[in-house]
Chain A
Amino acid sequence: MSQPPLLIGCASGFSGDRSDGAAAVVRTLAARGGGTLIFETLAERTLALAQLARNDDPNCGYEPLLDELVGPILADCLRDGINIVSNFGAANPPAAARRIAELAREQGLPVPRIAVVHGDALNGPEHRALLKERLGAALDGLDIVSATAYLGAEEIAQALSAGAQIVVAGRVADPSLTLGPALAHFGWDPADWPRLGRATMAGHMLECGLQVTGGYFCVPGLKEVPDVHAAGFPIAEIQADGEFVIGKAEGTGGAVDARTVKEQLLYEVHDPARYLTPDVVADLSQARVVELGGNRVAVHGITGHARPDELKVNVCYRGGWLAEAEISYAGVQAEARARLAADIVQKRLGADYKLRADLIGAISILGDDAGAMRRATPDSHARDVRLRLATENADRALAERVLREVTALYTCGPAGGGGVRTALRPRLNMMSCTIPREAVRSGWNFLEEIAP
């Protein structure tokens, strides 16, 4: 008899996602015999922000909403044998693991076996030398906040096979959160590229949460989605050969159909024959989808090729100051007055002062930083326009000048400008490279093996 599918539900697509979706996912998994719950909470810069938090307090540096994500479903997961796998450890996986153990104690639960993945942080001097070799002069003089390698599914799979009920990681590739449990469950050969390719794309479908269940899909009049305000988080059913079906939590809104699945399948893909992860090069060039009804869609035709030789590294560094200021105009010649206001500020700051101007309500986000599109677009006579001016500078005082100039438009004109808001914030910039796998010493431990 064939093995039953592995069910993996995802209840977060980034740090900042809705945190109330896990309960419906867990109920669905439990009703269907158990499975694995994953939370994806690390965008490219999230980890640098977490590192800054850890610098300030050695007990911080993991996902700030950890309690909210895990607290409500911890008892149910432990009771129903649902494992939890996540990158919510961010810059401090041991602290996140300790917090989960504490949550279990607070709730009167037996403390679960928690595994902690390590090795993604590249903080040693030998790592810096290697990054210098790869990035060269671009690295000179930078105030580096974090450097992390994208780990794969191997440590997660090993920890689950050893009996971990919860696996806490920092930087692992998003789809590896799904591939790890699949490797452990089915016992696949880690070089079985077609199976790894398929399960990796199952992870890709899950890792952005509602993006595959109709949330980041709906367009009134063109692509309607029922009860989108209460759209459910996705669940993948992975078969022993890696083929998978995408569905969603029971009793939720949203939709999973061929269109929602195709949009997510191609999300952030370049060459569909070569989707790179640390685990495999997935190949979706021959993918096809079949609607099964009941918000379930099967994805067929995916395969995989040997994994890349090197691991991707993100280096985040302090990037100076971002200054943004806004002012609104309405009525006759509103757009013309907003355009004039932008010209006035540019003239006063000088032609060399880098300034982006957006006419919100007429032309804004579609334009380029240099303003070519804005200048090429004739005045549309928009009658309710918000001008946004933005700059960046390593020198805080220079960045602040645009804030002062926009505020002064209150009396200096053009006529009728109101509602000035200004903001100044430090920037985190990023660059990427790859490094040899041997340079990254990754592994995992049970929490009790880690010195507090």
Chain B
Amino acid sequence: MTQTLLAVPLYRLAHGRSGDKGDISNLSLIAWDAECYDVLAEQVTESRVAQWFAYRHPKRVTRYALPMLNAMNFVLEGVLDGGVNDALNLDTHGKSLSFRLLDMTVEVSPELASRLPDIPGDRPAAA
């Protein structure tokens, strides 16, 4: 019997922070534990992240895996409208982009979902 999977936002499995250098943003994605990390490793691919940030037209998205930290680091090139000195965005650094990533959904078993932290009533942004 196939189990029905649940779509849950990444913030239930992981945390992260944005950093900026010029027009490049890096977004860390750090799983709570190895079990959550396996979900990220399988589902949070470069192409999905590129798609999720398509409106910021990344020139390239690279994923670096750090399994010993249960973490990965995404490097998004060309997504800051020129960077801190050139962009018209209030958030010229792209500090908020890590929280955009944390709204992306992954599919997990109901059993795992029941053990993850949650913010009742929160409705993450759609794609």
* Interaction A to B: yes
Which residue of the partner chain, among B66, B91, B117, contacts A272 with CB atoms under 8 Å? B66
Check B89 against A388 for contact (C-beta < 8 Å). Answer: no
Tell me whether B21 is interfacial, beta carbon within 8 Å: yes
Tell me whether B56 is interfacial, beta carbon within 8 Å: yes
Residues of A in contact with B, size category = 35 or more
Determine the residue in chain B with the shortest Cβ distance to A266: B28
Stretch touching chain A among B38-46, B80-88, B105-113: B80-88
Which residue of the partner chain, among B24, B57, B69, contacts A265 with CB atoms under 8 Å? B69
Stretch touching chain B among A97-105, A285-293, A438-446: A285-293
Q: Output the least CB separation between A367 and chain B (Å).
A: 7
Q: Output the least CB separation between B116 and chain A (Å).
A: 10
Q: Which residues of B sit under 8 angstroms from A217, Cβ to Cβ?
A: 17
Check B86 against A270 for contact (C-beta < 8 Å). Answer: no
Q: Which residues of B sit under 8 angstroms from A430, Cβ to Cβ?
A: 85
Main secondary structure of the interface of B (DSSP, over half): mixed
Instruction: Report the bound CA distance from A211 to B18 in whole Å.
Output: 12
Q: Which residues of A sit under 8 angstroms from B97, Cβ to Cβ?
A: 366
Determine the residue in chain B with the shortest Cβ distance to A369: B81
Find residues 80-127 in chain B having any chain A CB closer than 8 Å to their own CB.
81, 84-91, 96-97, 100, 117, 119, 125
Which residue of the partner chain, among B69, B81, B125, contacts A289 with CB atoms under 8 Å? B69
Q: Which residues of B sit under 8 angstroms from A358, Cβ to Cβ?
A: 89-90
Determine the residue in chain A with the shortest Cβ distance to B84: A44
Check B81 against A269 for contact (C-beta < 8 Å). Answer: no
Interface string of A137-178 (1 = CB under 8 A from B): 000000000000000000000000000000000000000000
Check B55 against A367 for contact (C-beta < 8 Å). Answer: yes
Q: Which residues of B sit under 8 angstroms from A27, Cβ to Cβ?
A: none
Which residue of the partner chain, among A267, A369, A388, contacts B28 with CB atoms under 8 Å? A267
Q: Which residues of B sit under 8 angstroms from A284, Cβ to Cβ?
A: 66
Main secondary structure of the interface of A (DSSP, over half): mixed
Stretch touching chain B among A60-68, A114-122, A218-226: A218-226
Tell me whether A432 is interfacial, beta carbon within 8 Å: yes
Check A267 against B55 for contact (C-beta < 8 Å). Answer: no
Instruction: Report the bound CA distance from A428 to B81 in whole Å.
Output: 16
Tell me whether A113 is interfacial, beta carbon within 8 Å: no
Tell me whether B8 is interfacial, beta carbon within 8 Å: no
Q: A368-B57, A427-B85, A432-B22 are in contact. Are A263 and B15 (CB under 8 A)?
A: yes
Which residue of the partner chain, among A286, A301, A364, A368, contacts B81 with CB atoms under 8 Å? A368
Q: Which residues of B sit under 8 angstroms from A322, Cβ to Cβ?
A: 88
Check B24 against A270 for contact (C-beta < 8 Å). Answer: yes
Check A376 against B17 for contact (C-beta < 8 Å). Answer: no
Q: Output the least CB separation between A372 and chain B (Å).
A: 5
Residues of B in contact with A, size category = 35 or more
Q: Which residues of B sit under 8 angstroms from A259, Cβ to Cβ?
A: 15, 30
Instruction: Report the bound CA distance from A376 to B21 in whole Å.
Output: 28
Which residue of the partner chain, among A45, A223, A365, contacts B91 with CB atoms under 8 Å? A365
Interface string of A222-261 (1 = CB under 8 A from B): 1100000000000000000000000000000000000100
Q: Output the least CB separation between B43 and chain A (Å).
A: 20
How many Cβ-Cβ contacts under 8 Å join chain A to chain B? 113
Instruction: Report the bound CA distance from A211 to B86 in whole Å.
Output: 25
Which residue of the partner chain, among A269, A354, A391, contacts B73 with CB atoms under 8 Å? A269
Q: Output the least CB separation between A325 and chain B (Å).
A: 12
Instruction: Report the bound CA distance from A294 to B68 in whole Å.
Output: 23
Q: Output the least CB separation between B67 and chain A (Å).
A: 10
Q: Which residues of B sit under 8 angstroms from A221, Cβ to Cβ?
A: 117, 119
Check B88 against A262 for contact (C-beta < 8 Å). Answer: no
| B64, B66, B86, B88 interface centre (most CB from chain A within 10 Å) | B88
Q: A365-B89, A428-B85 are in contact. Are A222 and B119 (CB under 8 A)?
A: yes
Instruction: Report the bound CA distance from A322 to B92 in whole Å.
Output: 13
Interface string of A277-316 (1 = CB under 8 A from B): 0000000111111000000000001000000000000000
Q: Output the least CB separation between A328 and chain B (Å).
A: 15
Q: Which residues of B sit under 8 angstroms from A107, Cβ to Cβ?
A: none
Q: A222-B119, A365-B91, A388-B90 are in contact. Are A266 and B71 (CB under 8 A)?
A: yes
Q: Which residues of B sit under 8 angstroms from A427, Cβ to Cβ?
A: 85
Which residue of the partner chain, among A44, A262, A365, contacts B71 with CB atoms under 8 Å? A262
Interface string of B47-89 (1 = CB under 8 A from A): 0000000011100001010101101010100000100111111
Interface string of A365-394 (1 = CB under 8 A from B): 111110011001000000000001011100
Tell me whether A185 is interfacial, beta carbon within 8 Å: no
Determine the residue in chain A with the shortest Cβ distance to B125: A366
Q: Which residues of A sit under 8 angstroms from B125, Cβ to Cβ?
A: 366
Determine the residue in chain B with the shortest Cβ distance to A429: B85
Q: Output the least CB separation between B63 and chain A (Å).
A: 11
Tell me whether A127 is interfacial, beta carbon within 8 Å: no
Q: Which residues of B sit under 8 angstroms from A269, Cβ to Cβ?
A: 19, 26, 28, 73
- With A45-B85, A368-B56, A369-B89 given, can you name 5 additional A-B contacts, CB distance below 8 Å? A222-B11, A268-B20, A272-B73, A367-B89, A369-B81
On A, residues with C-beta under 8 Å from B are 44-45, 211, 216-217, 219, 221-223, 259, 262-272, 284-289, 301, 319, 322, 354, 356, 358, 364-369, 372-373, 376, 388, 390-392, 427-430, 432
18 A-B pairs within 8 Å (CB atoms) are namely A217-B17, A222-B117, A268-B20, A269-B26, A269-B28, A270-B24, A272-B64, A272-B66, A284-B66, A287-B66, A301-B68, A365-B90, A366-B96, A368-B57, A368-B89, A369-B89, A429-B86, A430-B85
